Amino acid sequence: MLSKIKNALVMLYDINSKLTKLQQAIGRIESRQNDMLKTREFAENEFQVYSQWGEDGLIQYLIKNIAIDNKIFVEFGVETYQESNTRFLLINNNWSGLIIDGSESNIAKIKSDSIYWKYNLKAECAFIDRDNINELISKNGISGDIGLLSVDIDGNDFWVWEAISVIEPRIVICEYNSLFGSEKSVSIPYDASFYRTAAHESNLYWGASISAFYELGKSKGYSLVGSNRAGNNIFFVKSDLLGHIEAVAAKNAYVQSKFREVKDRSGNLTYLPFEQRLGIIADMPLINVCDGSKELIRDIYGL
Q: What is the pLDDT of residues 164-185, one digit of tens each?
A: 999 999 999 999 999 999 999 9
Virtual torsion, Cα 77, 216, 198, 257, nearest 10 deg: -80
pLDDT computed for residue 12 by the predictor: 53
pLDDT computed for residue 224 by the predictor: 98
pLDDT computed for residue 16 by the predictor: 52
Scanning 66-169, the segments in alpha helix (DSSP H) are 87-93, 104-112, 115-118, 133-138, 157-163
pLDDT computed for residue 18 by the predictor: 44
pLDDT computed for residue 6 by the predictor: 46
pLDDT computed for residue 21 by the predictor: 47
Measuring CA to CA, which residue among 184, 207, 185, 181 is closest to residue 194?
A: 207
Q: Which domains does the chain have, with CATH numbers?
A: 2-256 (3.40.50.150)
C-beta separation of 241 from 66 below 8 A: yes
pLDDT computed for residue 11 by the predictor: 52
- Low-confidence residues of the chain: pLDDT under 70: 1-40
pLDDT computed for residue 9 by the predictor: 47
pLDDT computed for residue 5 by the predictor: 55
